[in-house]
Amino acid sequence: MANGTFAINPAASSATPNSGQPITYSSLTTGVCTVSGTTVTMLAAGTCTLAADQAAGTDTNGDSYMAAAQVTQNVTITNNPGGVAAVPTLGEWGLMLLGLLAAALGVRGLRRQA
């Protein structure tokens, strides 16, 4: 199952509010992912639809702003392809056998040359 957590980086996003109202993030597919603040938690494989919203408000100059249109972004979450498999290695006896085999083949090659 796909699972994990990552953060939405507000400094790296292109969302720049002029109104001073905060941008809030949410998940429209809570069976696949959830959002808490700027942290997204992946729950299952599928399409995670993230939404960004900004409410109406008034800035420090007294200017009023309407609510911004909701912006969504789909993120595809796939199943984990599997864990890391160990690479088989030769033990002490295997290395000794390999050395003896190499030595025997070397001696055989020397006998043919003589």
Return the domain boundaries, the chain: 4-77
Name the pTM for this structure: 0.57
For residues 50 and 29, the answer to whether their CB atoms sit within 8 Å is: no
- 3-state SS string for the chain: CCCEEEECCCCCCCCCCCCCCCEEEEECCCCCEEEECCEEEECCCEEEEEEEEECCEECCCCCEECCCCCEEEEEEECCCCCCCCCCCCCCHHHHHHHHHHHHHHHHHHHHHHC
For the stretch 53-99, pLDDT in tens is 988 888 778 888 888 889 999 988 887 666 677 777 777 878 788 88
CATH topology of domain 4-77: Immunoglobulin-like (2.60.40)
**Mean of the pLDDT values across residues 4-18?**
56
